Structure 1
Amino acid sequence: MRRVLQLFLLLVLAWIVVEPLAIVGVESVRRDGAWTLDAVRAFAVEPNEWRAAWNSTWLAALSVITGTMIGVPLALVTRLAGFPGRRVVSALLALPAVLPPLVGVVAFLFLYGESGVFSRGIMALTGSEVAPWRFEGGGAVLLIHATTMYVYPYLLVRAALATFDTSLIEAATALGAGRVRTMRTIVLPLLRPAIGNGALLIALTSLASFSAPYVFGGGFRVLPTQLITTRLNGDVSVAMVETLVLVALALFCLGAATRLGGPGVRGAGKGLAPAPAASRKGWRRSLTAVGVAAITVWLLLPHLALLGVSFVAPGAWTRTALPTAWTGGNYVALIAEPERWRPFGTSLWMAGLAAAAAAVLALLVAVAARDPRHRLSRGLEVALGLPWAVPGTVYAIALATMFSVTQPAAGRFILIGTLWLLPLAYLVRALPIIGRAVVAAIRALDPAYDEAAAALGAGRWRTFRTITLPLLMPALAGATALGFVTGLGDFMTSVILYTYDTRPVSLEILGAIRQGELGIAAAYGVVITLLSTAAFVLAERSRGAA
């Protein structure tokens, strides 16, 4: 029975995860029913294509370097150093983890953009009617990446430090090693896997980044934006080649980060969280507190600007440094006006349906792949995690290509222009988030539970219903909440696949900005942030309960 379930789930995952990517590969070398390399040649001879690929590469590399340089020291300081307000600062620094990409980009627009708070303030002080800068190009995108993606190494390193054995540091100190040498030879090698995984997340997120280059790129093109432009221009085959190049870059980053993270250095110990070490000198504690607080304020300024702009009255912020009138009417409008609420309702039902379906599928995969020694179990795990390594724009193009024709024998049906394609894309994107968590949780369960239930005469279904499922619920609920947040704030997949009936809230935010309704756009962003934060808190509590 388990083998039948494994084969069935492999077919399902092959249909919605693997086949779309395979079709993209075929379409890139096939045109009008014949095999051809014309699209590959067109890509190879076009300088803009190579420029976009190079921009994606160096942007990902610098995003990894800058994000890691911000996130790792902050994790070390907030976990190991004792200073006033440490817990509050630690929680605030994790805030970017719950912000959907477009909302974070909009926050930077309100702060650093040509019509943002800083620009308007300088114009008011100097009496100039011209913005002092143009916040666009590769530098602007890199700043956004660095100050939002640092959260990945920050969270992973903090989690690794939570089980760090401080006796290793004590032993190094007893042997005469100074702080720098202890950090270099003991702490950082033990943190290598966490740092490597954080770097991987930054690299993959940067390669897939669409919101920041789309809003602030200007003439700066990266592969995700170049892919959309090429497809809109009708060069579908070239767009397929761009898709494959983007996938190749993502897989290269996956391999490089695997080597960087590696197994690291393993140390045997108690696994106790290290207590923050308060400096004996009061001025050092104060200096640490002031420095970390200043960095935290700088990192969170865009989000504070987003909150402030959400209370700006329509037409009250045109030429002045600060708005001339404030109101809570923007939030009232989101509820009272049907055209404002409709995108929220659309995003809620699509993200909710996708997360629920992904949770059911992930649970079935976890049950079928519980034993990692079986070859089919490993195949299920690989297929489940594949969307995590492939950028969202790639899957959007792949799904649009696969479900644009009717070929029942190949599992292809026309879903373009229907209500179901975008929720299906959300489901695929949520699968790795939910699936990896549930698979890890079920493998961590003690087999003695099943053995005891079997000894008492319980069948497999009753054992699963009364023992396994309740034990998995915390992990399942938390991961499903994160999968829901992923769909709720999605932009890069939605901008390719949405229709009039499936216009999500992320597209409504962009439309409000283009129409000059900054308060409405910011209010949308704040509400999405609050919903995402609630889901993040639920996930953390569920993980703790697990």
Structure 2
Amino acid sequence: MSKLKRVKEVLFSGKWIGFIIAIFLVWFIVAFLLFPNLNVLRTIFFSDGSFSFEPFQKLLHSKRALMSLLHSFVLAASLVVTVNIVGIFIVLVTDYFDIKGSRILRLGFLTTLIYGGIVLVSGYKFIYGDLGIVTRLLHNIFPGFNVSWFKGYWAVLFVMTFAVTSNHVIFLSNAMKKIDFQTIEAAKNMGASPIYILRRVVLPVLKPTLLAVTILLFLTGLGATSAPLIVGGKDFQTITPMILSFAQSVTSRDMASLLAIILGASTLILLTFMRRIEQSGNYISISKVKSEMKKQKIDNKLLNIIVHVVAYLLFVIYVLPVSLIVIYSFTDTYSITTATLSWNHFTLANYMKLFMQASALKPYIVSMSYSASAAVLVVILTLIVARILHKYKNKFTIILEYCMLIPWLLPHTLIALGLIVSYDTPRFIILNNVLTGTWWILLIAYVIVQIPFTLRMLKAAFFTIDNSLEDAAKSLGAGTFYTFRRVLLPILLPSTLAVLALNFNGHLADYDMTVFLYHPLFQPLGIVIKNSTDEQASGDVMALALVYSVILMVISAITLYLVYGRKSK
């Protein structure tokens, strides 16, 4: 009788739930965060049971692989220069200088937040590619114009320069608003020129944000996939497209894995460098009472005209792809393939086809199913982990947190290759199942790469909760699970829903990881849109891809409004 009573006490105390959660977390970390990545190292350097430098020798004898490494580092270094110039300029004209129509300019510069990745690159190719609108216009004006001009290093640099200024628009704009206007006024009263104030007062305050953004830019350049793959041509391929090429053959997977490891090592070194810079820096305003930032007028008329012209030229570059994608999505295949516009060719047939044909709607259903499932699963997983980290402080929780942040240190290509190499044969750790070639593996990958961001956000939300609420619930006799469900979760719900929406939005048109792991019978939107950029793609495929892009932009805009717009109101 006493034994039965003890069993009941354990069951109703909830300890068994904690035990199951602990076993599940250990299994998940080992099976999907540790084993695949360690197994990649084993398959490369210990393929025959003993350590070997053969993969490095193969890499050094592969001209394609070495050139891809060189191209990646050249692109990364170039982006640091070009994106910082453009990014700082657009932040200055929207937040620092008094520019006419700055609100309209801001909307144009924010377009990269609603479309990016494969959608953005396909849009630029639709405009500047061999059959692009601008290319055809230039060819009509200048008959000898080279229609293949938008390929190679300069094309990739151009696309990515205007594609990755989102961090400047978000983070640098926020940092600009925190500048104490009193310091600017004091510098003016001391006779400092506007250029001197900008160079010695404003930019130094933005230095921490600029350093962080610069590191992220370099990492983005190293891991670039869509732009080099679509507009890079045969002469300019970077690491990730080369990894994809090597991974398609079993005999060259070791080369793909080695390139991915080099990419991962570079990422780890740069993140460590950024961490040290953050720890060594001290950028605190000495003003006790900060005054609100006021926009500065450009007194020099010629300079004022030049800044306005450049600002609106950049506005056109940002807005043109979005505008033309939306316009041409309402035209027939003739207008799309010939890059012409006529009222007679406007139609709703493309949109009707999407919603009336199962084959056209299928990529949307696949992408939304993957994105929604991954977003829900990762939120549930990280809520559990964040709760443990918030409630307990011990060695286990420290190790747990570091393990859950592993995907932040690794490029997506390395994570994908780890899953492919590790689970292409039955493994005991997953009950002797095979994941490679199934639709499960992409869902698992989506969950893995979303863990760090989701955990950081939800952990921060947990630490805003007053502990007295939980203590009061316990004193009233509420159980652990009941307290979490009825007291804590309602407080966390706004942050949880915001993260859920961002995660759902993040993988709708993902290509970089999807291309390694997708099932051929379940092609997501990223793959379909990429296929529409091929030279042999038909007009119907291109038309449907434009419709996909437009609806993705609408979904992204709605998501951003629900997360940020309503919050600001």
Answer yes or no: same fold by TM over 0.5.
Answer: yes
Which position in structure 2 is the counterpart of 1:524?
548
User: 1:78 is matched with which residue: 89, 94, 104?
Assistant: 94
User: 2:271 is matched with which residue: 254, 258, 262?
Assistant: 254
Which position in structure 2 is the counterpart of 1:101?
117
1:401-432: CA deviations, max 9, x gaps? 12212121487731122221111111112222
Deviation at 1:322, TM superposition (A): 4.5
Which position in structure 1 is the counterpart of 2:200?
185
Which position in structure 2 is the counterpart of 1:203?
218
Structure 2 residue 43 is matched with structure 1 residue 27: yes
- Where do residues 116-515 of structure 1 align in structure 2 (5 Å cutoff)? 116-127=132-143, 131-219=146-234, 220-233=236-249, 234-262=251-279, 263-269=281-287, 274-277=292-295, 279=297, 291-319=310-338, 322=341, 325-370=345-390, 374-409=394-429, 413-451=433-471, 453=473, 458-514=478-534, 515=537
Contact 2:45 / 2:55 at 8 angstroms: preserved in 1?
A: yes
What is the aligned length? 544
> In 2, distance between residues paired with 1:62 and 1:337?
44
1:436-458: CA deviations, max 9, x gaps? 21122222334454455556665
Deviation at 1:134, TM superposition (A): 2.6
Contact 2:264 / 2:410 at 8 angstroms: preserved in 1?
A: yes
- Structure 1, unmatched stretches of 5+, are none
Deviation at 1:11, TM superposition (A): 4.6
SS in 1 for 2:334: coil
CA distance 1:304–1:361, shift in 2 (3 Å):
same
Contact 1:79 / 1:161 at 8 angstroms: preserved in 2?
A: yes
Q: Which letter does structure 2 place at the counterpart of 1:266? A: I
Contact 1:371 / 1:443 at 8 angstroms: preserved in 2?
A: no
> In 2, distance between residues paired with 1:487 and 1:257?
27
- Which region of structure 1 is more displaced relative to structure 2, 488-497 or 174-183? 174-183
The structure number with the bigger radius of gyration is 2
Cα RMSD of the aligned pairs, angstroms, is 2.9
Which position in structure 2 is the counterpart of 1:69?
85
> In 1, distance between residues paired with 2:25 and 2:188?
53
Contact 2:108 / 2:318 at 8 angstroms: preserved in 1?
A: no
Contact 2:159 / 2:227 at 8 angstroms: preserved in 1?
A: yes
- Structure 2, unmatched stretches of 5+, are 1-14
Contact 2:178 / 2:293 at 8 angstroms: preserved in 1?
A: no
SS in 2 for 1:221: coil
- Which region of structure 1 is more displaced relative to structure 2, 99-108 or 187-196? 187-196
- Which region of structure 1 is more displaced relative to structure 2, 378-387 or 360-369? 378-387
Structure 2 residue 74 is matched with structure 1 residue 58: yes
SS in 2 for 1:349: helix
CA distance 1:24–1:447, shift in 2 (3 Å):
same
- Which region of structure 1 is more displaced relative to structure 2, 211-220 or 531-540? 531-540
Share of identical aligned residues, percent? 24
> In 1, distance between residues paired with 2:176 and 2:431?
47
Deviation at 1:250, TM superposition (A): 1.6
Contact 1:430 / 1:487 at 8 angstroms: preserved in 2?
A: no
Contact 1:474 / 1:542 at 8 angstroms: preserved in 2?
A: no
Deviation at 1:235, TM superposition (A): 1.0
> In 2, distance between residues paired with 1:118 and 1:78?
28
1:213-235: CA deviations, max 9, x gaps? 11112121211111111122431
Deviation at 1:47, TM superposition (A): 2.6
> In 1, distance between residues paired with 2:532 and 2:159?
21
Deviation at 1:75, TM superposition (A): 1.6
- Which region of structure 1 is more displaced relative to structure 2, 56-65 or 178-187? 178-187
- Which region of structure 1 is more displaced relative to structure 2, 33-42 or 497-506? 33-42
> In 2, distance between residues paired with 1:541 and 1:468?
25
Contact 2:31 / 2:429 at 8 angstroms: preserved in 1?
A: no
> In 2, distance between residues paired with 1:271 and 1:396?
50
CA distance 1:203–1:490, shift in 2 (3 Å):
same
Contact 2:44 / 2:254 at 8 angstroms: preserved in 1?
A: yes
> In 2, distance between residues paired with 1:243 and 1:420?
22
> In 1, distance between residues paired with 2:46 and 2:430?
17
> In 1, distance between residues paired with 2:269 and 2:289?
33
1:5-47: CA deviations, max 9, x gaps? 6785355234322322111111111325554332222112323
Deviation at 1:317, TM superposition (A): 4.2
> In 2, distance between residues paired with 1:186 and 1:9?
49
CA distance 1:280–1:506, shift in 2 (3 Å):
closer
> In 1, distance between residues paired with 2:188 and 2:23?
55
Contact 1:121 / 1:321 at 8 angstroms: preserved in 2?
A: no
CA distance 1:273–1:506, shift in 2 (3 Å):
farther
Contact 1:39 / 1:237 at 8 angstroms: preserved in 2?
A: yes
Contact 1:204 / 1:391 at 8 angstroms: preserved in 2?
A: no
Contact 2:65 / 2:242 at 8 angstroms: preserved in 1?
A: yes
Structure 2 residue 66 is matched with structure 1 residue 47: no
Contact 1:64 / 1:202 at 8 angstroms: preserved in 2?
A: yes
> In 2, distance between residues paired with 1:72 and 1:411?
52
> In 1, distance between residues paired with 2:131 and 2:65?
32
Deviation at 1:487, TM superposition (A): 1.6
Deviation at 1:171, TM superposition (A): 3.8
TM-score, reference length from structure 1: 0.90
Deviation at 1:377, TM superposition (A): 3.6
> In 1, distance between residues paired with 2:333 and 2:406?
45
SS in 2 for 1:235: helix
Deviation at 1:463, TM superposition (A): 3.7
> In 2, distance between residues paired with 1:258 and 1:150?
22
Deviation at 1:207, TM superposition (A): 1.9
Q: Which letter does structure 2 place at the counterpart of 1:498? A: Y
CA distance 1:46–1:271, shift in 2 (3 Å):
farther
User: 1:88 is matched with which residue: 104, 116, 135?
Assistant: 104
> In 2, distance between residues paired with 1:317 and 1:409?
51
CA distance 1:463–1:88, shift in 2 (3 Å):
farther
Contact 2:93 / 2:99 at 8 angstroms: preserved in 1?
A: no
